[in-house]
Amino acid sequence: MKILVPLDFSDLSFKALQVADKFSSVYDDVSISPFHAHIPISELDEPYAFGLNTPVHKDFDEIEANIKERLKEAAGKYIDESKLGESIVGIGSPSQCIIDISEEMDFDYVIMSTHGRTGFSRFFLGSVAEKVLRLSSIPVMVVENESKVDNFEKILVTTDFSDNATIAFPYAVEIAKKTGGHIHLVHVLSFEQFEADEKDTSLKQIRKERMKIIEKEYFHQISDQVTSEVIVSPDSPHEELLNHISKNDYNLIVMSTVGRTGINYLMMGSTTANVVRHVNNAVLSINPKKTTEKEGDEDEDES
């Protein structure tokens, strides 16, 4: 397994190294690569470089070597040398570099902090983490400084019964199999989505039966480690999920970035986007459209 950990050398970004080390401990063969995106100072930026001790125009090979050394030193404080992979430096936009390199070098996971040197919160749509979540074909785990992952033994998996939601299930199953952890499968029946004359409580029973079918179809390998629940709420799905998460001490939340509505992750209305912005838990986000596109490309290559 190959894990990419983007860093900006802030203390907040180092939380991702700690989580990556913990996540890697449940697997047998893991390589963790620290990454930093370097944005060169151009001629147009010279006025802002006044007062710096180093020349504005410096040989990039030397800069890259220095950054790699810093990455290795920082990662070495949290990652055992036997699991420490190549230090990687990209040039340009951090979010685009993370996306491109994780795909080009066939990483299995990206693990990163939602807060970095800039201190931007999850509410800021321009944040690096949100751009990576929205566009990456690689599963992305985002963590907060307060995230308590322990051994990933208490996992929340959400579903809206769409095909997109099912893409995330195998990732949760794999983690639970490795850790022996428990998966709580949750569906929110939001009456906000229905007209007044459709608010029949029998819908809850129907959806509970569908949840049992999902358990058998997707989670049969670990049936004794899975429970399911349908939560009826007058609130929106993301509001109810936030309420549910606040009352339960989950180590990891596993979600698809696109659900039944097909709402783009960029939209404020996305359930996953709202959950990611508001919780302190570690969240593993899988982009179903990007994942299936990637699998389709691989099938074409094989043919």
pLDDT at position 203: 82
Selection from 111, 92, 118, 140 nearest residue 265 by Cα: 140
Higher pLDDT, 196 or 210: 210
Over residues 48-71, mean pLDDT: 69
Q: How far is CA 219 from CA 174, 183, 212, 222, 225, in A?
A: 10, 9, 10, 6, 9
145 half-sphere exposure, CB direction, 13 A CA radius: 10
Per-residue burial over 235-244, b = 16 or more CB atoms within 10 Å of its CB, e = otherwise: ebbbbbbbeb
The SS3 call for residue 74 is: helix
Where along the chain do its domains lie? 2-143, 154-302
Confirm whether 2-143 and 154-302 share one CATH topology. Answer: yes
Query: What percentage of the chain has pLDDT greater than the value 70?
Result: 78
- Domain 2-143 CATH class label: alpha beta
Residue 197: CB atoms within 10 Å = 6
Task: Map tokens 């299995």 to a residue.
Answer: 108
92-101 pLDDT, tens digit each: 889 999 999 9
Taking all residues of the chain, what is their mean pLDDT, rounded to a whole number?
A: 82
Reading phi first (left if > 0) and then psi (alpha if -120 to 50, else beta), residue 161 is in: left
Q: Which of the given ranges, 51-55, 237-241, 291-295, has the highest pLDDT on average?
A: 237-241
pLDDT the model gives residue 259: 47
Q: Could you tell me if 238 and 245 are in contact, meaning their C-beta atoms sit under 8 angstroms apart?
A: no
Highest mean pLDDT among 131-145, 174-188, 273-287: 174-188
Task: Check pLDDT > 60 for residue 298.
Answer: no
Fold exhibited by the domain 154-302: Rossmann fold (3.40.50)
